[in-house]
Structure 1
Amino acid sequence: MTASTVTLLCLPCAGASATMYLRWRRALPAWLRVVPVELPGRGERYAQAYAADLDTLAAQLCDRHESDLQGRFVLFGHSMGALLAYRMASRLRRQGRRLPELLIASASPAPALRDPARFDGLDHDDALIADMRKQGGTPEAVFADDELLRLALDTLAADYRLCKSHRYAAQPPLPVPIAVFAGREDDITPLQVSGWGAETSRGHTEAWFDGGHFFIRHQELAVLAVLRDLLAGLDCKANHHATALPA
């Protein structure tokens, strides 16, 4: 690894696995070391039990990826992954460990403005399927295959239980700049997006994209272009005020 290499740890959304980021390894420049993070119960960790507690999962991920959290690194998380990235950064700060140069929260309300009631009633297959279709991130092939659908439903249900368990605990702002990616047609409000600014003492930026909750997939080229620009500018002085990035 060269001195200029930046490790980009990518945390998946609820119901997803590390595979959602595999294409990024080919699409991003070589100086970015993309590390798709696998959560228990899926992919290469399929045999492991789903996580039952956000803080415990964040602690496990910090330990599992200890070698990746050295040198220059950035945490990226989409939806539930953004909440996990925030919990990981908070844990690293409490332990006096090296902090990320940037935390990127995609398609996620600020931790203080998340509403656990959003997951009420999503505890049976029909409701989960309806929610999957509404969010628009699940390929039709999954709905057409009983085995794939069963796995997707079980994983999503476990992750939604994790999300519903979230309770915000106020803490001093992180000394880490935060970039927020958001979809213009997502249910997440501008207020919930701008709320991330309260979690950092180093300023936050916002990048808005066309599309709903899965703009990260439907607008992938635009997302990666903004991501490249952000990471290429890590050595610049952090902006201490919220600004809008072009999408």
Structure 2
Amino acid sequence: MLTLFCLPYAGASAMGYARWRRSAPAWLDIRPLELPGRGSRASEPLATDLVDLAAQLARELRGETWRPYALFGHSMGSLLAFELACALRAQGLPPPQALLVSGGAAPGMRDYLRFRNPMSDEQLLAELGALQGTPDEALQDPELMRLALPVLRADFLLCGRYRFQPTAPLQCPLHVLAGSQDKACEAQLLAWRKLAAVGFSLKLFDGGHFFIQSQERAVLAHLAECLAPHAPAPATRPDSHFFAKV
């Protein structure tokens, strides 16, 4: 069994990966990580520093790194997954078998300025609408947005105040996933290559920023293909028959 720890995108909770747990092959254990301030950790304060949050998560995962694992993150989660890999290394813990990042340019290539200051509710709603990852009925639900917007605002600030610090390449393969109609250009995606010392791949999927929703089955199949070589025997090959209908 190989464990895949999944980091959420801005405003999301661990529930964002709930469908994946039902659809992944039997040898892949999908483990969504809940961040402070949402879901089962709603009573905890929202994080204000992404690097500190990564270090906290690394400490929480200390006992989980003895068996094979990998990291995945989408959008904000891709930054957090990368910093988590760095924090695990800094704490002397076993590295992931692979780092998979989705929906975003390399850390040193992102424009964080637009998220540096708190956004109004109207700005947040406009941003959600433009990203096309939230159903219209959810956007038009005042009570739901009352609960969701503070988390989204804090997460945007988390990204806006993050500053990439150059570091030694990670000693694990790095796989990049992106939507062909998303904002990040090829050069911004290929810049992830500099952060991995032992393997790199880039895979484009049809769609925009939330291609992981519209292309869920293809995304899961690709994750399995990337991770199968690192899975403990006897599961060494992805098999489409392992996937449940989604």
Cα shift at 1:67? 2.8
- Counterpart in 1 of 2:129? 133
| Cα shift readout 1:171-206 (whole Å, capped 9, x = no counterpart) | 111111100000000011111110000101112101
Distance 1:118 1:187 in 2: 14
- Counterpart in 2 of 1:80? 76
Identity, in percent, stands at: 45
Distance 1:162 1:78 in 2: 15
**Among candidates 163, 167, 171, match of residue 171 of structure 1:** 167
Cα shift at 1:120? 5.4
- Counterpart in 1 of 2:95? 99
- Counterpart in 2 of 1:150? 146
Cα shift at 1:95? 2.0
After superposition, residues 189-208 of structure 1 pair within 5 angstroms as: 189-208=185-204
Kindly indicate whether the alpha-carbon contact (under 8 Å) linking 1:53 and 1:165 is maintained by their aligned counterparts in 2: yes
Kindly indicate whether the alpha-carbon contact (under 8 Å) linking 1:121 and 1:127 is maintained by their aligned counterparts in 2: no
- Gaps of at least 5 residues in structure 1 are 236-247
Aligned-residue CA RMSD (Å) = 1.3
Distance 2:144 2:112 in 1: 27
Distance 1:132 1:70 in 2: 38
Distance 2:88 2:161 in 1: 21
- Counterpart in 1 of 2:11? 15
- Counterpart in 2 of 1:242? none
TM-score relative to the length of structure 2: 0.90
2:230 match: secondary structure: coil
Distance 2:121 2:101 in 1: 28
**One-letter code aligned to 1:151:** L
TM-score relative to the length of structure 1: 0.90
Distance 1:62 1:170 in 2: 19
**One-letter code aligned to 1:15:** G
**Among candidates 55, 63, 66, match of residue 59 of structure 2:** 63
1:201 match: secondary structure: coil
- Gaps of at least 5 residues in structure 2 are 232-246
**One-letter code aligned to 2:228:** A
Kindly indicate whether the alpha-carbon contact (under 8 Å) linking 2:8 and 2:77 is maintained by their aligned counterparts in 1: yes
**One-letter code aligned to 2:62:** E
Q: Does 1:33 align with 2:29?
A: yes
Kindly indicate whether the alpha-carbon contact (under 8 Å) linking 2:2 and 2:70 is maintained by their aligned counterparts in 1: yes
Q: Does 1:184 align with 2:176?
A: no
Question: How many equivalent residue pairs?
Answer: 231
Distance 2:85 2:131 in 1: 27
Distance 1:21 1:226 in 2: 16
1:157 match: secondary structure: helix
**Among candidates 86, 90, 96, match of residue 86 of structure 2:** 90
Q: Are residues 43 and 119 of structure 1, via their aligned partners in 2, closer, same or farther at CA, if it must alter by over 3 Å? A: same
**One-letter code aligned to 1:157:** R
1:233 match: secondary structure: helix
**One-letter code aligned to 1:99:** P
Q: Are residues 66 and 121 of structure 1, via their aligned partners in 2, closer, same or farther at CA, if it must alter by over 3 Å? A: closer
